[in-house]
Chains A and B, each alone.
Chain A
């Protein structure tokens, strides 16, 4: 049995490999296989190499560049997928492989599991931390929208903005599904953030990343890590509005606000202008009425104070009243005083005995009568005595009238002081004297020495002196005092 199968065809290796390749491709020209993705490698060429596996087997798989571009999601290790394609071999390596024509996630459950896994990772990183969330500006000037330029989403947003508060909208057009979507969305978010605030393109104050509803696969781009990280890194507050309210994508967890719909995002982005206008108008009205009420209140207060202020008349009235009271009292005090005095007078009067008084008066009157009856005779007697006395006195006075004596040749000598000189011996020689004659007064000078009184005509004064001697005789007869002396 050296040549047991002499008629067996002998292949070359290439022939056999080629035959095998044809057989495999014929037998498995179109297959549908379900499995979990193993390691995924994207080559520089753009082809994507990965394994699809289950518990016991692995099949190497290739997605050519053109096919990979049409994937609705990015192939990722661990994701359960359903692939359609054909089997082929790689003769150079003795390998067979699955040439992918299309690839779908193996139902929502698979994607959900992946989503949960990623969510757990990002949450662990803290990307969903509420403290990271920025507040949405109250009234943005520019709104950046990242969405498809076609379709209802951008129109819904613009309509709602128009209704509420028209603003400047910058649309960054992106694909919102398919394998390129995530990349473009991430680039748009970073692109808006990279705008300089004073550059030619205004930097938005708020971003809206939006997409309409769709299957989980359609929305898958918004679960991609690059999108999540771009949104997390955004300095511009970001509102996400992806799918319907019940759809959840990872960008919703990392955005600053999640809107249930694109319309809802527009509502979060701007306030209602008409309401603001109303608020401002109401405030303005309150401002005006506030001021006028304020002033009115002050006026009322002022009036109150003025009213509380005493009127000048009232001040006077008070004084006047006091004055009146005092004046009244004055009058009555006067009357009281008088009355009191009168009362006291009455008391005193009562003490007066009119009878005694009258008796006293009578006695005095009697005495007056008695005296007056005696008065006339006494007066007459007295007058007679006076007359008699006066008569004798007159006679005697006449006898003293020295002018008569002067007529008889006597002279009165007076010294320089005018005093009458009674003794000539006292006069010094040379003394000036005055001689009074009956008709005139003449000046003289004493000459010589005194001599005995005799009929010496030279010395006039001694002669005068001797003459008045008889006078004292009459004096004892003078009347009672009061009459005074005649010399």
Chain B
């Protein structure tokens, strides 16, 4: 149900998605939305929320160290800090 109207959400940053979610919640809470539209924006809100949660879930600390390759270009290797 969210593929066509809410496809743009995938490209939103967490901040943008959260800000829009906030706006939608305020709109809904203000009660100034038509009933049909309220369900529409609720669905969008739900999609935004899922997007935000996905963004939050991918949090994983990965540490790499920059090393100069033989061509002089920077490359990475696991940092191995102790």
Residues of A within 8 A of B (CB): 138-139, 149-150, 154-155, 158, 161-162, 165-173, 188, 191, 195, 200-201, 273, 276-277, 279-280, 283-284, 286-287, 290-291, 293-295, 297-298
B 51-81 binary contact with A (CB < 8 Å = 1; else 0): 0110110011111111000000011100101
Q: Report the Cα distance A463→B53, complex, angstroms.
A: 150
Q: A-B contact count, CB below 8 Å?
A: 114
Interface centre among A138, A276, A293, A294 (most CB of B within 10 A): A294
Contact A166 B61 (CB under 8 A): yes
Contact A171 B75 (CB under 8 A): no
In this complex, how many residues of chain B approach chain A with their Cβ under 8 Å: the count is 36
Contact A171 B21 (CB under 8 A): no
Q: Which A residues lie within 8 Å of B21 (CB)? A: 280, 283-284, 287
Chain B, 21-69, CB within 8 A of any chain A CB: 21-22, 24-25, 28-29, 31, 33, 35, 38-39, 42, 45-46, 49, 52-53, 55-56, 59-66
- B16 CB, min distance to chain A CBs, angstroms: 9
Chain A: CB-nearest residue to B21: A283
Q: Report the Cα distance A195→B13, complex, angstroms.
A: 21
Q: Which A residues lie within 8 Å of B75 (CB)? A: 200-201
Known contacts A169-B64, A201-B75; is A283 also within 8 Å of B22 by CB?
yes
B15 interface residue (CB < 8 Å to A): yes
- A269 CB, min distance to chain B CBs, angstroms: 13
Chain A: CB-nearest residue to B64: A170
Chain B: CB-nearest residue to A158: B63
Interface majority SS (helix, strand, loop, mixed), chain A: helix
Chain B: CB-nearest residue to A155: B81
Chain B: CB-nearest residue to A291: B42
Nearest first, the 4 A-B pairs at minimum CB distance are A290-B28, A166-B61, A138-B15, A291-B42
Residues of B within 8 A of A (CB): 13-15, 18, 21-22, 24-25, 28-29, 31, 33, 35, 38-39, 42, 45-46, 49, 52-53, 55-56, 59-66, 74-76, 79, 81
Known contacts A138-B13, A166-B60; is A171 also within 8 Å of B18 by CB?
no
Q: Which B residues lie within 8 Å of A168 (CB)? A: 62, 64
Chain A: CB-nearest residue to B76: A201
Contact A294 B56 (CB under 8 A): no
Contact A279 B18 (CB under 8 A): yes
Q: Report the Cα distance A161→B60, complex, angstroms.
A: 10
Interface centre among A150, A154, A162, A168 (most CB of B within 10 A): A168
Contact B38 A295 (CB under 8 A): yes
Q: Which B residues lie within 8 Å of A150 (CB)? A: 81
Chain B: CB-nearest residue to A141: B58
Chain B: CB-nearest residue to A290: B28
Q: Which B residues lie within 8 Å of A167 (CB)? A: 59, 61-62
Contact B74 A283 (CB under 8 A): no
Contact B25 A290 (CB under 8 A): yes
Contact A170 B76 (CB under 8 A): yes
Q: Which B residues lie within 8 Å of A283 (CB)? A: 18, 21-22, 25, 45, 49
Q: Report the Cα distance A162→B81, complex, angstroms.
A: 15
- B47 CB, min distance to chain A CBs, angstroms: 11
Contact A173 B66 (CB under 8 A): yes
Q: Which B residues lie within 8 Å of A295 (CB)? A: 35, 38
Contact A273 B61 (CB under 8 A): no
Of the candidates A158, A161, A191, A284, the one whose C-beta lies within 8 Å of that of B66 is: A191
- A173 CB, min distance to chain B CBs, angstroms: 6
Q: Which B residues lie within 8 Å of A139 (CB)? A: 13-15, 55
Q: Report the Cα distance A287→B62, complex, angstroms.
A: 34
The contact sample of 21 A-B pairs, CB cut-off 8 A, is A138-B13, A161-B61, A162-B61, A167-B61, A169-B63, A169-B79, A171-B64, A171-B66, A171-B79, A172-B65, A191-B74, A201-B74, A276-B56, A280-B52, A280-B53, A283-B18, A283-B22, A286-B28, A287-B24, A293-B31, A294-B31
- A197 CB, min distance to chain B CBs, angstroms: 14
Q: Report the Cα distance A92→B29, complex, angstroms.
A: 91
Q: Report the Cα distance A169→B78, complex, angstroms.
A: 10
Q: Report the Cα distance A173→B64, complex, angstroms.
A: 10
Chain A: CB-nearest residue to B35: A298
Q: Report the Cα distance A283→B33, complex, angstroms.
A: 18
Contact A149 B59 (CB under 8 A): no
Q: Which A residues lie within 8 Å of B45 (CB)? A: 283-284, 287
Other A-B contacts than A169-B63, A173-B66, 9 sampled, CB-CB below 8 A, are: A138-B13, A166-B60, A167-B61, A168-B62, A170-B64, A171-B63, A188-B66, A291-B38, A297-B31
- A465 CB, min distance to chain B CBs, angstroms: 119
Q: Which A residues lie within 8 Å of B76 (CB)? A: 170, 200-201
- A195 CB, min distance to chain B CBs, angstroms: 7
Contact B42 A169 (CB under 8 A): no
Of the candidates A138, A166, A169, A297, the one whose C-beta lies within 8 Å of that of B59 is: A166
